[in-house]
Amino acid sequence: MVLRKRTLWILLMPLFAFLSLTFFYPMLYQFLLSFEEHTLYTAEPFFVGLRNYAIVLQDPLFFVALRNALVWTALSVVFQIVLGLFAALLLNIPRRGYRVFRNLSLIPFVLPPVAIAVTWKWLYNPLYGLINYFVTLLGGEPVNFLGRNLALYSVSWVNIWKAFPFYALFILAGLQSIPQEIHEAARIDGATSFAIFRYITLPLIRPLLFVMALFATVWTFNYFDLIYSMTQGGPGHTTEILATLAYKTVFLKLRFDHAATLGVFMFLINFALSLAILTISRRVES
């Protein structure tokens, strides 16, 4: 038994070393950096206490980015899970060629975010975009989807379109793991399809949905590529989120200390959102 435990620890050492180099050390360094003054022109970083946190909290743009990030995350996660569930229910119905459709549905997810951004910017274009072509064809006026009023919602939809097939396949796997005998017994007892979904299928896959919501929340809140490629946080910071703000703070303002402070705030908010989802999940299951 002792030899088996030693062997286990020896086999886990490479994993611990990898996590230490790629996760724990960068996180610790970022946390320490948030208490220092460190720019490209600083000869030697020096301790400044909580000054960086005070500067970030006094910046109105921080709260604009925080609000946008919460809206962007909420819209994306809710519709990704809902559309993913709807698509999984459709894919769970046996029909000819559904395996081909299931594989093709993953194309949006595997496409590079920059390619998706360029394609959707063309589709959204108010002058020659395909969407506005059909809008004008139906007698409407061209819509500036990436303008100040609609930009955040338009970019959120692109993120929803990209990711919901991925969640659909995971939910489909959960649906197919439910024994068919349960559904057949319910049908024999006279239960309708909606009643079977509400009282049997949904409770059985509810833990999976909460897990998917947890991963989607963390993933979306930190997601940078798509939104920056489409709008770069504009117009007028209407699509600025904390991830894009941190990027600009590093590469445009060259303030490594302020960017590290933003990273700490992002970690704390991610932790709070994850804790809230886990708490809701436990209350619902209990």
Confidence at residue 48, expressed as pLDDT on a 0 to 100 scale: 86
DSSP-derived 3-state class of residue 252: coil
Confidence at residue 2, expressed as pLDDT on a 0 to 100 scale: 56
Distance CA 157, CA 155 (A): 5
Q: Tell me the residue type at 265.
A: F
- Domains belonging to the chain, first-starting first, are 48-285 (1.10.3720.10)
Instruction: Tell me the pLDDT tens digit for each residue of 50-108.
Output: 999 999 999 999 999 999 999 999 999 999 999 999 988 888 877 776 677 777 777 88
Burial 217-226, CB ≥16 within 10 A → b, else e: bbbbbbbeeb
Instruction: Give the mean model confidence (pLDDT) for residues 208-214.
Output: 89
Token duo for residue 258? 């302020």
User: Which residues have a Cβ under 8 Å from the Cβ of 232 and sit 6 or more positions away?
Assistant: 244
Burial 12-47, CB ≥16 within 10 A → b, else e: eeeeeeeeeeeeeeeeeebeebbbbbbeeeeeeeee
Q: Considering only CA atoms, which of 177, 208, 207 is closest in space to residue 284?
A: 207
**Is the distance from CB of 77 to CB of 216 less than 8 angstroms?**
yes
Confidence at residue 190, expressed as pLDDT on a 0 to 100 scale: 81
User: Which residues have a Cβ under 8 Å from the Cβ of 216 and sit 6 or more positions away?
Assistant: 76, 77, 80, 81, 163, 167
Taking 80 as the threshold, does the pLDDT of residue 257 lie above it?
Answer: yes
The residue written with tokens 């909606």 in the block is 194
**Is the distance from CB of 56 to CB of 259 less than 8 angstroms?**
no
Instruction: Give the mean model confidence (pLDDT) for residues 18-32.
Output: 82
**Is the distance from CB of 167 to CB of 175 less than 8 angstroms?**
no
Confidence at residue 3, expressed as pLDDT on a 0 to 100 scale: 59
Backbone region of residue 45 per phi and psi (left: phi > 0; alpha: psi in -120 to 50; beta: other values) = beta
Confidence at residue 97, expressed as pLDDT on a 0 to 100 scale: 65
Distance CA 197, CA 266 (A): 37
Q: What is the reported pTM? A: 0.87
Instruction: Tell me the pLDDT tens digit for each residue of 128-157.
Output: 889 999 988 888 888 899 988 899 999 999
The residue written with tokens 């509400």 in the block is 198
Q: Considering only CA atoms, which of 50, 73, 85 is closest in space to residue 276?
A: 73
Establish how many alpha carbons lie within 13 A of residue 98's alpha carbon, considering only the half-sphere containing its beta carbon.
12
